[in-house]
Amino acid sequence: MSSHQQPLISHLLELRTILLKCIAGVLLVFICLVYWANDIYHYMAIPLMQALPESSSMIATDVAAPFFAPFKLTMVLSFFIAVPYVLYQIWSFVAPGLYKHEKRLVVPLLVSSTLLFYMGIAFAYFVVFPVVFGFFTSVAPEGVTVATDISSYLNFILKLFFAFGLSFEIPIAVVLLCWAGVTSVEDLKAKRPYIVVSAFIIGMLLTPPDVISQTMLAVPMLLLFEGGLLAARFYSKKSEDEQEEQTHAD
């Protein structure tokens, strides 16, 4: 075996170990939570249950849905909870190949990206869900009983969780683009009108086909974009290069 292949194989083996640790971390959280799977689903269903008429309730149209819907939700929740551990394992894999100034950037980004993802999920649950479900149940035609299937509801909320969780990562994306020199704060400011339109288009694609949820996704995206512009001033490519020059000069 050549000397060039040995480092590659060692990196692949290390990557496999990292992936196994990540999977094990998620499974460990899942094992701890699976006993309360039905309670977890009930808690996630509260925003819809509060919006439904008193005579209505959720239904299960599939025989196995009462088991698989809470099971699936608990598995996804386990991954959400294990995200800090997963990111830590990824960090341990890439850290040895980073320069000192890159490590100073990556650590705050990992922490802030995790917090922003959780904030996006919390925003969807506490702010968006009550408004959206209240709107949907109020516009039902007369004579139509609103009774949502538990599997359909689960797919709906998971889609919104991921949409809001990922959209709250916009400041991280802005900082990385500016830091890598792909763009600059000034360029992004000049393109602000296009970004406003793009935010509403993304909101239309990622959320259900109603104006309320689209707007409630687009507006936070624009606010987070502005926050990303403020943070990017401290992590521009130019400032990092200047720090490197100063370090070599010292």
- Reference 179, options 74, 129, 108; nearest CA is 108
pLDDT tens-digit profile of 83-102?
A: 889 888 888 877 777 677 66
Q: Is the pLDDT of residue 221 over 60?
A: yes
Using a pLDDT cut of 90, give the percent of the chain over it: 27
Q: Is the pLDDT of residue 125 over 50?
A: yes
Number of CB atoms found within 10 A of residue 78's CB: 19
Q: Is the pLDDT of residue 8 over 50?
A: yes
* Average pLDDT score over residue span 50-61: 82
- Band (68; pLDDT cuts 50, 70, 90): very high
pLDDT tens-digit profile of 224-247?
A: 999 888 888 877 654 444 445 444
The CA-atom distances, in angstroms, between 141 and each of 128, 134, 150, 210, 228 are 23, 14, 21, 16, 43
Cα gap 225→223, rounded to integer Å: 5
Q: Of 205 and 4, which is predicted with more confidence? A: 205
- Where are the chain's structural domains? 39-77+99-249
pLDDT at 42: 93
The predicted model scores a pTM of 0.81
